[in-house]
A and B are shown apart, each in its own frame.
Chain A
Amino acid sequence: MTMSLPKKIGLYSLLIVTSFIVFFPVIYALMISFMTGPEIMQGRFFPQSIQFENYSKVFERLPLLKYLLNSFIVSAGVMLGQLIVCSLAAYAFVFLPFRGSNFVFYLFISTMMIPWEATMIPNFFIIQKLDWLNTYQGLTFPFFALAFGTFLLRQHFKTIPVELHEAARIAGISRFAFFRRVILPISKTSLVTLGAYGFLTTWNMYLWPLLITTNDSVRTVQIGLKQLQSQETATEWGVVMAGVIVVIIPTLLLLFLGQKQLQKGLSQGALK
């Protein structure tokens, strides 16, 4: 089928206008990040010249490099933890049928009904008791187990024939070797999806780091942005926006690279 030319033009103009509106706040932040104070007051949209002064300033005002590194360690840590914990559980659900597996399955589902915010007060005291305030463990451990991630991987594992598992058992290959050598490589796409999802959501996490980081040592960039905004808004919006751009570049890149995967994986894990 071919589309008529007027229809094509109409669609493209709709696409262009709507994507400009959707992307506008990001473009605007980028423009502001290149402007000097007076330019911002004048209300321009395009900067007179592209200067990186605001960027060097933001790295002076905040230990931003350290925050970026912290965010990276925490996000990568949660990502790895989730991949390991969730894939182990998913393997058990698919390849190790046992009495009571339904019960455990419902236990997993029930965790999805408990909003994390409803448990944050006791969780804060748990972390305090463990002496994990201002530590990477405190920022990562609570998020390793994830029902959604387990179900996502379970969907993919289910497509692997059980006969293959049995054959491998008869050939004397241990369960763990089968898990590591066969299942994980076959399920690479789902693992990548879950990994990207875990990294993205952890990078963007706000309330938990706000609660359990009381000093700079493991503070993440999101809390850095709050600090920056409360210090600077009165005068230097350019510096604040430079901070915003630095913080969103890694996740935007990840999203641009993995958009297709994420979309496929999320809608599959969500629905079946």
Chain B
Amino acid sequence: MNTEVKNGWWAKSANGRTAILYLLPSVLLFSVFIFYPMLRTIYLSFYLTDQSGKAVLNVGFDNYAYLLQSPEFLNSMKATGLFVLYTVPIGIIIALFLALLANEKLKGIGFFRTIYSSTMGVSVAASSVVWLFLFHPSIGMFNRLLSVVNIPQIQWLLDPEWALFSVSLSTIWMNLGFSFLIILGGLQNIDEHLYESSRIDGAGYFYRLRRITIPMLSPTLFFIITISLINAFQSFGQIDILTKGGPSQSTNLIVYSIYREAFVNYQFGTASAQAVFLFILILIVTVLQFKFGEKKVHYQ
């Protein structure tokens, strides 16, 4: 009797034992390269470190207190917030507009879809180099256009008033292709019949857009908003190539600030504390998605 139960348990758990084998690579890699480093980041944020990253002195919450009083870090948070505000809403509205255009049934529409999604194939480094040239003070295209219409030239990347705007402009372009592809996919998943019955009722384009398209698209839009927010918080390459955080730190976004603090100044403790702030920001965004995503949004 006893052995039978034991055998039953052994047999029943066969799936489990095999499953562990199949899941092992993922779990192992996640542990080594995500979970352990995250815990280690939190640990380091309570320490002063030496140049090789060893924790030397436990300072409690001093790194955090230091950051919250540091004008540089507060400025970096402000720049990050503004950057998110400039890039996410406008980027999604443009992508939505292009996706609506590309969803019309016309001859050759595939060509336009390919063009709209093309920025996804251009790396951050490559696009940053191209935009660096577009923003060039004397031979860049933007200032040439301005001089044609007799508007005084703008120091796009050198003027602290303009730099964050310029970086945001180039970032909107870089992210356009991906947002476009996701939104177009969402549009194509909407059931045709919904439109057909509304057409019989004689509803106009904008009425259908407001009453059918946008509500049916809401899960996609919600998803792309979340991804865009996370992407914006993680921006790094364009800063490194276009401005290096300057001028006067006006474009010192959080990931760039972490990078400099850690790998230029070798202050791994305060850099880790900044990384914890980044973690919390992204956690808030993803938790909001899980919490409100399913309730407020219409699913098919």
Contacts and interface: CB of A to CB of B under 8 A. Distances in A.
A5 interface: no
Interface in A238-261: 240-241, 243-244, 247-248, 251-252, 254-256, 259-260
B22 A88 contact: yes
Interface in B139-198: 139, 141, 144, 173, 176-177, 181-182, 184-186, 189
Interface stretch (A11-19, A48-56, A57-65, A184-192): A11-19
Contacts of B275: 117-121
A255 B121 contact: yes
B185 A266 contact: yes
Given A26-B118, A115-B233, A200-B121, A259 B181 contact: yes
Given A96-B22, A126-B37, A207-B236, A118 B124 contact: no
A22 interface: yes
A84 B24 CA distance: 12
A229 B27 CA distance: 40
Nearest to B185: A267
Contacts of B271: 121
Q: Which of A41, A99, A150 has the most B CB atoms < 10 Å from its CB?
A: A99
Given A25-B134, A28-B141, A115-B233, A89 B33 contact: no
A118 B176 contact: no
A236 to B, nearest CB: 12
A144 B106 contact: no
A164 interface: no
Interface string A98-127: 111100100110011111111111111110
B126 A114 contact: no
A117 B234 contact: yes
Contact of A270 (B101, B110, B173, B223): B223
A206 B125 contact: yes
B88 interface: no
A159 interface: no
A215 interface: no
B144 A43 contact: yes
A206 B237 contact: yes
Nearest to A91: B22
B282 interface: yes
A143 B186 CA distance: 28
Contact of B53 (A121, A243, A254, A271): A121
B12 to A, nearest CB: 9
A141 B130 contact: no
Contacts of A223: 125
A204 interface: yes
B245 to A, nearest CB: 14
A233 interface: yes
B22 A18 contact: no
B112 A115 contact: no
A123 B125 contact: no
Secondary structure at the B interface, as helix, strand, loop or mixed, is: helix
Interface string B276-294: 1011001100110000000
Q: How large is the interface on B (under 10, 10 to 19, 20 to 34, 35 or more residues)?
A: 35 or more
B86 interface: no
Given A15-B101, A92-B23, A247 B282 contact: no
Contacts of A41: 139
Nearest to B195: A1
Interface string A178-219: 000000000000000000000010011011001100000000
Nearest to A146: B26
B36 interface: yes
A26 B134 CA distance: 11
Given A119-B41, A203-B123, A267-B189, A22 B22 contact: no
Given A25-B130, A26-B122, A145 B185 contact: no
A18 B115 CA distance: 10
Given A14-B101, A203-B123, A111 B34 contact: yes
Interface of A: 1, 3, 8, 11-12, 14-15, 18-19, 22-23, 25-26, 28-29, 32, 40-41, 43, 84-86, 88-89, 91-92, 96-101, 104, 107-108, 111-126, 141-142, 144-145, 150, 175, 200, 203-204, 206-207, 210-211, 222-223, 225-226, 228-229, 233, 237, 240-241, 243-244, 247-248, 251-252, 254-256, 259-260, 262-264, 266-268, 270-271
22 contacts: A22-B176, A25-B122, A25-B134, A84-B25, A88-B26, A96-B18, A108-B26, A111-B30, A115-B233, A118-B41, A118-B275, A120-B262, A122-B37, A142-B33, A145-B25, A222-B237, A241-B133, A244-B126, A248-B121, A254-B121, A259-B117, A267-B186
Interface of B: 13, 15-16, 18-19, 22-23, 25-30, 32-38, 40-41, 44, 53, 98, 101-102, 104, 106, 109-110, 112-127, 129-134, 139, 141, 144, 173, 176-177, 181-182, 184-186, 189, 199, 219-220, 223, 230, 233-234, 236-237, 240-241, 255, 258-259, 262-263, 268, 271-272, 275-276, 278-279, 282-283, 286-287
